[in-house]
Structure 1
């Protein structure tokens, strides 16, 4: 029965846009939109200890994500972008999430590729599964479980997920409980997106593109309190739910590619923003690490001195790419980082220069002034204490809610 459902779903979403019957109201086509995403990067030891460098052998990996919008049928995007050998997926499932790694057994669907239950992903490649007959509601949690029987080698990952991933020995892809999943980490592996199909025209998605402040460092784990999550909740509460995609990487820089901290914003912008199905708007919040790491405050990566002019040149390139793709581009000012290891007079002068350009150049379609929203009124070089996670660089949950509240919803296409 599930195979029949999968075939029906595949046929439905592959119907060409011109199909229909004569008359005034021909059927509308299905259109895919990404409703959850994360940025993949290299396996490394940056920030957290996890399973990325050792990879998996005869392991089942269970990952829980919350989608920001809903749809009629669902498919999953997987990646072996930084792998050096083919990734063999012996089997995979998707299901509605229950508590603590458990799943709703009545919702379990096999994930297939070309209707095959096992498949391989070539080194450097991504793929999208066949549609699964699983409808999703806005802000619903879904669980993707991969059985990796063969040795994978080092795993393409997103290191800082702030969500629990579960691992079991052997094949437990359809287990309703999490009893076999005795190991956990706080990273995602091989998983980069969840997409849904809706009748055209669907609601367009927004990409939050940035570094650890977009990623959610400082937020409460397993609580979906990152600023893109908070923005998705705000849109849903306003009666205009839409996908908000978190494409932040901790330590990421605008101008510098890194084997530790991910490809630069300049390198990954096309894949993480322009190639996402259904995107209409992007918010760019990045540059803090270029400034902070210019002064040599790093234990994990190469120091490269970056000027405000270099950042602005790259911002202009990203704006041009987004506009050419038909996207609306919002520029976020860089929040204060006084008292953090990044802070010194030279770094602060660079931050102020970049923010002045963002506010006054008129090159973005609109501005999200996070600097003004998060700054301490008595010392604008610092985060307000109520918004500081404690490291004087990353906001806490209240800070992320304030960031989401600062976005003018009418600026979103």
Structure 2
């Protein structure tokens, strides 16, 4: 299909969807709930040197960025959500495409489709803003690898990103947005830039997505890079195998905390909960797994990425969790509370921190505040030492699971609670 024909077809599909009420008039606001559902998502962070090399602080200038994600649920039509939430200036996206992934930065012949924004190939997203593309005639299958490519012709300034991605991203100099091959993409990164979500729709519309909200254990630290073996990925696999149509959206951020922001590890849970959970389209359920970094980081020496790191009490963490539940319930979203995993032997473990973890976990299990409980503490603990992560599930740092551990976490989810 030629580029002009594909662009025209995209505009036609958009117009038809507008006509039947499947799409609100294009705007920079959040997508309408209940019609579209997320098939992939990540949580955005401000530009940072962080703990891994990335391109965010300098940003992009005459660069093409190619990023690989994996869907969780299928749909007849797709659109892409881009975020300039932490940008310091308007972001011009000169052009963009979506395609089916081949190998590395290559895409499958015949699958590449241009994306339009308000029926234009280019778009400007204001600083602090977010925008979805027009619907694209691009059917998505469950568990399918997709490649989104952005050409950024002008200097962007610092880039909104997700620091610790679980797939490789690629960069080329110049406009290679329509390339099928990988030759031009000579630079790599393990972060995602500007790409906040991929959404699908079909008939009938359903409210069905599950958001997994948390820190690096939700994000997937310790999982095999590019293998899509995080616990949310493996939960999506379970649902697809069972024939259950549920999008699974991973909004974990490595190092994230319930009570304190970090310049490197994202805004605190209460601040980002609106954007990363409540504003996601078609959400039915959220699984909350967060708090271990509040406990552990209060025990380590002060470092720029950790500050502020006051010692937190169980009561403070419980209050933070309670607030998230109330806000979700106000939007009609079910909330599953996951107990905090064992962390004895991790770099920031202390007996004081263990006492706080135990108290928080007891509250999650017994308070009745959560609609249901996912008791990962008991699932993931060494049988003879319940304060320690089971050796067979340990990635090696006594804190983060490996692929088998993430599989066990996904297997522990009672699908009926979703």
Alignment of 1:342-361 (within 5 A): 342-361=348-367
Deviation at 1:103, TM superposition (A): 0.7
Q: Which residue of 1 aligns with 2:128?
A: 124
Deviation at 1:111, TM superposition (A): 1.1
Alignment of 1:178-189 (within 5 A): 178-189=182-193
The answer to whether structure 1 residue 315 and structure 2 residue 348 are counterparts is no
Q: Which residue of 1 aligns with 2:27?
A: none
- Mapped to 2, the partners of 1:196 and 1:214 lie a distance apart of 23
- 3-state SS of 2:335 partner: strand
Q: Which residue of 1 aligns with 2:26?
A: none
Deviation at 1:16, TM superposition (A): 4.4
Q: Which residue of 2 aligns with 1:193?
A: 197
Q: Decide whether aligned partners of structure 1 residues 10 and 102 sit closer, same or farther in structure 2, where only a CA change above 3 A counts.
A: same
Q: Which residue of 2 aligns with 1:364?
A: 370
- Mapped to 2, the partners of 1:71 and 1:18 lie a distance apart of 13
1:228·1:245 contact (CA, 8 Å) conserved in 2? yes
Structure 1 length normalisation: TM-score?
A: 0.95
Q: Which residue of 2 aligns with 1:382?
A: 388
1:80·1:125 contact (CA, 8 Å) conserved in 2? yes
1:55·1:152 contact (CA, 8 Å) conserved in 2? yes
- Mapped to 1, the partners of 2:330 and 2:16 lie a distance apart of 31
Alignment of 1:119-268 (within 5 A): 119-202=123-206, 204-268=208-272
Q: Which residue of 1 aligns with 2:333?
A: 327
Q: Which residue of 2 aligns with 1:405?
A: 411
2:232·2:248 contact (CA, 8 Å) conserved in 1? yes
2:208·2:245 contact (CA, 8 Å) conserved in 1? no
Deviation at 1:15, TM superposition (A): 3.0
Q: Could you give the per-residue CA deviations for residues 52-73 of structure 1, whole angstroms, max 9, x where no partner exists?
A: 1111111100001001001011
1:227·1:404 contact (CA, 8 Å) conserved in 2? yes
Deviation at 1:348, TM superposition (A): 0.2
Q: Decide whether aligned partners of structure 1 residues 410 and 166 sit closer, same or farther in structure 2, where only a CA change above 3 A counts.
A: same
1:55·1:153 contact (CA, 8 Å) conserved in 2? yes
- Mapped to 2, the partners of 1:313 and 1:171 lie a distance apart of 49
Q: Decide whether aligned partners of structure 1 residues 396 and 298 sit closer, same or farther in structure 2, where only a CA change above 3 A counts.
A: farther
- Mapped to 2, the partners of 1:18 and 1:47 lie a distance apart of 42
Q: Could you give the per-residue CA deviations for residues 327-359 of structure 1, whole angstroms, max 9, x where no partner exists?
A: 110000000000011211100000000000000
Deviation at 1:3, TM superposition (A): 2.6
Deviation at 1:203, TM superposition (A): 5.6
Q: Decide whether aligned partners of structure 1 residues 298 and 70 sit closer, same or farther in structure 2, where only a CA change above 3 A counts.
A: farther
Structure 2 length normalisation: TM-score?
A: 0.94
Aligned residues: 403
Q: Decide whether aligned partners of structure 1 residues 298 and 99 sit closer, same or farther in structure 2, where only a CA change above 3 A counts.
A: farther
- 3-state SS of 2:35 partner: strand
Q: 2:91 aligns with which of 60, 83, 87?
A: 87
2:381·2:389 contact (CA, 8 Å) conserved in 1? yes
- Mapped to 2, the partners of 1:298 and 1:189 lie a distance apart of 29
Q: Could you give the per-residue CA deviations for residues 111-133 of structure 1, whole angstroms, max 9, x where no partner exists?
A: 11111111111111001111111
The answer to whether structure 1 residue 110 and structure 2 residue 108 are counterparts is no
Q: Which runs of 4 or more aligned residues in structure 1 lie more than 4 Å from their structure 2 counterparts after TM superposition? A: 16-19
Q: 2:310 aligns with which of 284, 304, 307?
A: 304
Q: Could you give the per-residue CA deviations for residues 20-72 of structure 1, whole angstroms, max 9, x where no partner exists?
A: xxxxxxxxxx9211110000001112221111111111110000100100101
- Mapped to 2, the partners of 1:196 and 1:410 lie a distance apart of 23
The answer to whether structure 1 residue 53 and structure 2 residue 79 are counterparts is no
RMSD across aligned C-alpha pairs, in angstroms?
1.5
